[in-house]
Structure 1
Amino acid sequence: MGAEAEERPHGAAVVVDGFGLKGPRGWAFREVSFRAGPGTLVAIEGPSGSGRTCLLLALTGRMKAKEGTAEVGGLPLPKKMAAVRRISALGHVPGVSELDPAFTVAEHLGERAMLQRRFDGSVRTFLRRPSERRAAARARIDEAVAAAGLDLDALPKGERTSVRDLERLEALRLSIALALIGRPRLLAVDDTDLKLSDADRAEAWALLRSVADSGTTVVAVCSEAPEDALRITTLDAAATAPAAETRAEDGKDAEDTGDGKDAEDASDAAATATGAPGEGDEPAGDLTEDTTEEGAADALAETGRA
């Protein structure tokens, strides 16, 4: 009983302060700060290309941040990335953890349970009889499937249904079930509301809310966050560009009048408006860099996702 209780998921607190990640052509995201207690539903909201997925992967130890600090379950990032990966799990993240369309639901579940037993099992687990190990694996699968709300009997061919034949919401439930087999302290899901109807979107958020209520901290990327979630908005470069251009024009006007100090002040103001560091923090070439879609794309490309 005690050993079983220790295996049950308990959410990881997330503390983020001035977090930022930079790609070859700019910042994927920066100056992200928030605090989330165990079992919190965190929604990373923003337009496509604003660094949402990069932030998700950085918080789960899959990408290395360039500035600021973060802790997940008391583990500091980026120093303890491997340890954070062990207590977190990825649900649906395109290009990083995707379902194989040729696999059946049963094959996906069986493979994940086998990998979980092979790489994360204790020595005591390997000493069990094969029948006991199979029963334990089946119990984990059933627990994860139930937590994800995936009704196997309702699928066209039951467990033998191919992933390519699943509806979008069913595929999302399967990816979450696979992640929950490992009983993570933090669950991360990308593109939560992508290509979902209003009704399916409500079901998806109800599912993630139930996972959080059970004790697992959930971080989900979306285009529009529900009101009851802790909403984290990534910076949209397009929204800050006009402000930067206005200040750049102010700097040009000051230069035309021959007042070099005014031009320098305007340049500093532009750097502040775009979230760039002031003089002395970084080389001058970085002063006008902002969070960019190219920066996010380049950072993601380093993980194998273009």
Structure 2
Amino acid sequence: MGEQTGGVRVAADGLGIKGPRGWAFRGMSVDAEPGSLIAVEGPSGSGRTCLLLALTGRMKITEGAAAVGGTRLPKQVSAVRRVSALAHVPGVTDLDPALTVAEHLRERALLQRRFGDSLRGLLRPRGERAAEARLRVDTALAAAGLDLEALPKGPRTAVRDLERLEALRLSVALALVARPRLLGVDDIDLKLSDGERDEVWTLLRSLADAGTTVVAVCTEAPEGAVKVSTRQSTHEGTHQSEDKEKADALAETGRA
């Protein structure tokens, strides 16, 4: 079977996640066509990252149901993970500040070749597989808008020397190496200027326009996005630490 391309429809009804300290979020619903830009908006701590992780199959939902393409949550989380990828999620997709951009890209391409390809793909000649890996990386960099030659030391630039927007673009590029049909991007407001946030939204819209369904966490959704708000998502007033709930759930379902 060939690799499926294009975005997936995301439909969810009454989603909720409850942990030891109460509800991270509850009553969340969304219906977005393939290639949509979905903005999960709300203040920090309102469960928005947990919702992002739930929709991408990284966090087990407590109530409600969702369909991601032809797969269903909560029963088919593994299938959802196979068609989705994450970028810029603290504690999940952290970049190593000591590694260079080129080292990150090589590592991701290697992981994709070893664990992401089909058995048929693994049996292809080494040169063909290497050429495919280079194509994946080049395509991902172009889609993320990251020009390696414009970096201070080109591909040899260490992550710690990247500007925040450059680091975010690198994280997106690494996620795109897997050619996901659903891309999740956490807190795009984090330490970015207004102009930089506008650039990020332009990037994410371009990815959605090219066919990938994108879910992005933000404080306020931009015009034209499918908006899902976590501002009034809990019903019990017992908001737990989102970071704690995220860590507990990822320990159960796996980080990647």
Whether contact under 8 Å (1:29, 1:291) holds in the other structure is no
Of 225, 235, 252, 2:221 maps to: 225
Whether contact under 8 Å (2:9, 2:68) holds in the other structure is yes
CA displacement 1:182-204 (0-9 Å, x = unmatched): 01010000011211111111110
Question: Are 2:15 and 1:19 equivalent residues in the alignment?
Answer: yes
Whether contact under 8 Å (2:21, 2:238) holds in the other structure is no
Of 214-223 and 190-199, the range deviating more from structure 2: 190-199
User: 1: CA distance between counterparts of 2:188 and 2:8?
Assistant: 20
User: 1: CA distance between counterparts of 2:177 and 2:4?
Assistant: 11
User: 2: CA distance between counterparts of 1:136 and 1:82?
Assistant: 25
In the alignment, which residue of structure 2 is the partner of 1:269? Answer: none
- Structure 1 residue identity aligned to 2:193: S
Of 227, 244, 247, 1:298 maps to: 244
In the alignment, which residue of structure 2 is the partner of 1:9? Answer: 5
Greater fraction of residues in helix: 1
User: 2: CA distance between counterparts of 1:167 and 1:297?
Assistant: 25
* Percent of aligned positions that are identical: 66
Instruction: Provide the secondary structure at the position in 1 that maps to 2:231.
Output: coil
* 1:89-104 alignment runs, 5 A limit: 89-104=85-100
* 1:1-306 alignment runs, 5 A limit: 7=3, 9-236=5-232, 275=235, 289-290=236-237, 292=239, 294=240, 296-302=242-248, 303=250
* Structure 1 residue ranges without an equivalent (≥5): 238-273, 276-288
Deviation at 1:297, TM superposition (A): 3.7
Instruction: Provide the secondary structure at the position in 2 that maps to 1:228.
Output: coil
CA displacement 1:74-95 (0-9 Å, x = unmatched): 2111100011000000011001
- Structure 1 residue identity aligned to 2:242: A
User: 2: CA distance between counterparts of 1:18 and 1:8?
Assistant: 28
Deviation at 1:211, TM superposition (A): 0.4
| Cα distance, 1:20–1:295 mapped onto 2, change above 3 Å | farther
Instruction: Provide the secondary structure at the position in 1 that maps to 2:170.
Output: helix
Deviation at 1:96, TM superposition (A): 1.1
Deviation at 1:54, TM superposition (A): 0.4
Runs of 4+ in structure 1 off by over 4 angstroms are none
CA displacement 1:44-77 (0-9 Å, x = unmatched): 0000000000000011111111111111112111
Deviation at 1:128, TM superposition (A): 2.4
In the alignment, which residue of structure 2 is the partner of 1:261? Answer: none
User: 1: CA distance between counterparts of 2:105 and 2:53?
Assistant: 23
Higher Cα Rg: structure 1 or 2?
1
User: 1: CA distance between counterparts of 2:122 and 2:11?
Assistant: 36
Measured on the aligned residues, the alpha-carbon RMSD in Å equals: 1.7
Instruction: Provide the secondary structure at the position in 2 that maps to 1:194.
Output: coil
CA displacement 1:91-120 (0-9 Å, x = unmatched): 110011111111111111111111111012
Of 139-148 and 296-305, the range deviating more from structure 2: 296-305
Deviation at 1:295, TM superposition (A): 5.0
RCO comparison, higher one (Cα < 8 Å, 6+): 2
Whether contact under 8 Å (1:25, 1:298) holds in the other structure is no
Deviation at 1:215, TM superposition (A): 0.5
| Cα distance, 1:8–1:80 mapped onto 2, change above 3 Å | closer
- Structure 1 residue identity aligned to 2:164: R
